[in-house]
Amino acid sequence: MVWCGLGRTTPLTAFYEKKATAHMSIRRHLASWATAPVALLAFSGTVNASVPPAPPTTAPATAAGTGDPVVEESWALAPAGSLDPSQAGNRPELTYVSDRGATIEDAVTLYNYGTVQLTFRLYATDAYNGNAGAFQVLPGDQQPTVAGTWVTLAQDLITVPAGKQATIPITIHVPADIAPGDYAGAIMASSPTMGVGEQGQTITLDRRTGTRLYLRVNGDLFPELGVSKVDTTYHHSLNPFGGSTHVTFTVVNRGNVRLGGTATVSVSGPFGIGERKITLPAFAELLPGQKVELSADLKDVPAGFLDSTTVEIAPTGAEGLANLKVTAGDDTTFAPPLGLLFLALILILVLLVLRVRSHRNAALHAAGSPAGDRESQLV
């Protein structure tokens, strides 16, 4: 049994990869699309960028003063049936629920928005969570091992004229012995272009765009998010109630389904005195086995000698799933009220000085009294 879902309204993801021995600076004007952030990740010899798909080109531009047409290369890949991948449609991604051993037939459409004919290499690959939990795919020269190996494309090389589109059938073979749960990948369209590096050398710029692929294999599903490595740093101030706290922690998807969520961090003194709480923006959806490192800063935290930190997660994406398990994380940090201790120390020193003076005056008075009596008797 196979169920093809409509998925979330998620933008397509484009990736740009550089293959060269030297680094090259690349600048592109990226327009925001939907709610997707633009992320740039640097690897050794590779640059991957998550960017929105380019909008359709209405007409070829011309170079100022020359009348020569400007070469524009712009394309997008989307599930077949999407009329315009630059706008959220009914199928922003490939999403399926399937039994083990099933075969899924579908198709993707490649749009050439540019002003020149382009040749593309088509292939499937695996996905993972990168920095800050962002959805990422493997580099173009790295072979997939899971979902990407299940996909067969009707053709792996295609030429699309300017302003045209092509639909390519795909077949997904779900292994009969695969474990239940969520698997993620992407189908990519790559078009290499020659460029010049910083040192004048010729390099190959492998530009690629793709559509996400999510597949849930039926069986025992257990959604579980865990919190680990909670670490609290307290920053003192002269005001014992005006310190600040920096908290870092890691959210781990320990289950077998993809989950997002929001984290709430609270810090308080003994018995909950002076509690401060903050809810962070929702973190990106985590694939099974993936993790994301988060941090929070809380102000006006009282110094209570031993401050307690608690991190709680409110998961999203587990609708309709039973036995949702969330593990809270906690930490204790030593936060002495240095301001009060300093004032107490000054007070103690003042009291000691006053006491010493009092004893000294009493001793002098006691020592001087007999002499005074003898002088009176001689007179």
Residue 371 binned pLDDT confidence (cut-offs 50, 70, 90): low
CATH of domain 224-339: 2.60.40.10
User: What does the DSSP 8-state code read for residue 151?
Assistant: E
Instruction: Output the pLDDT for position 117.
Output: 94
The answer to whether 2-217 and 224-339 have equal CATH topology is yes
Token couple for 273: 């005195």
Instruction: Output the pLDDT for position 65.
Output: 53
CB 255 within 8 A of CB 226: no
Give CA–CA dist 118/28, Å, rounded.
Answer: 19
Token couple for 45: 């010899």
- Output 33 or 259, whichever has higher pLDDT: 259
Give CA–CA dist 82/165, Å, rounded.
Answer: 12
Residue 369 binned pLDDT confidence (cut-offs 50, 70, 90): low
Q: What pTM does this model have?
A: 0.71
Given a cut of 80, is residue 368 above it in pLDDT?
no
Instruction: Output the pLDDT for position 192.
Output: 83
Instruction: Output the pLDDT for position 128.
Output: 97
Average pLDDT (96-113) is: 96
Cβ-proximal residues to 268 (8 Å cutoff; 6+ apart), any chain: 274, 275, 276, 304, 307, 308
Instruction: Output the pLDDT for position 330.
Output: 80
Q: How far is CA 175 from CA 39, 98, 99, in A?
A: 33, 11, 9
Give CA–CA dist 321/287, Å, rounded.
Answer: 16
Residue with tokens 């930190």: 309
For the chain, give every domain's residue range. Answer: 2-217, 224-339
- Output 371 or 16, whichever has higher pLDDT: 371
pLDDT in tens, 37-61: 222 222 222 223 333 344 433 334 4
Instruction: Output the pLDDT for position 257.
Output: 96
- The secondary element (H helix, E strand) that includes residue 345 is helix 338-378
Name which of 143-152, 241-250, 365-374 the model is least confident about.
Answer: 365-374
Residue among 79, 99, 103 at smallest CA distance from 172: 103
pLDDT in tens, 240-287: 666 889 999 999 999 999 999 999 999 988 888 888 999 999 999 999
Cβ-proximal residues to 6 (8 Å cutoff; 6+ apart), any chain: 90, 91, 95
Give CA–CA dist 102/218, Å, rounded.
Answer: 11
Instruction: Output the pLDDT for position 322.
Output: 76
- Output 151 or 349, whichever has higher pLDDT: 151
Average pLDDT (316-334) is: 79
Find out if CATH 2.60.40.10 is the number for domain 2-217. yes
- Output 375 or 75, whichever has higher pLDDT: 75
Instruction: Output the pLDDT for position 317.
Output: 87
CB 313 within 8 A of CB 326: yes
SS3 157: strand
In this structure, the number of other CB atoms found within 10 A of the CB of residue 194 comes to: 8
Give CA–CA dist 184/95, Å, rounded.
Answer: 9
Average pLDDT (303-313) is: 84
Average pLDDT (166-181) is: 97
- Output 33 or 70, whichever has higher pLDDT: 70
Residue 30 binned pLDDT confidence (cut-offs 50, 70, 90): very low
Q: What mean pLDDT is reported for the chain? A: 77
pLDDT in tens, 117-127: 999 999 999 99
Token couple for 133: 């939990």
Instruction: Output the pLDDT for position 95.
Output: 95
Given a cut of 70, is residue 288 above it in pLDDT?
yes
Q: What one-character-per-residue DSSP string does 40-87 give?
A: EEEETTEEEEEBPPPPPP-S--B-TTT-PBPP---EEEEETT-S-TTS
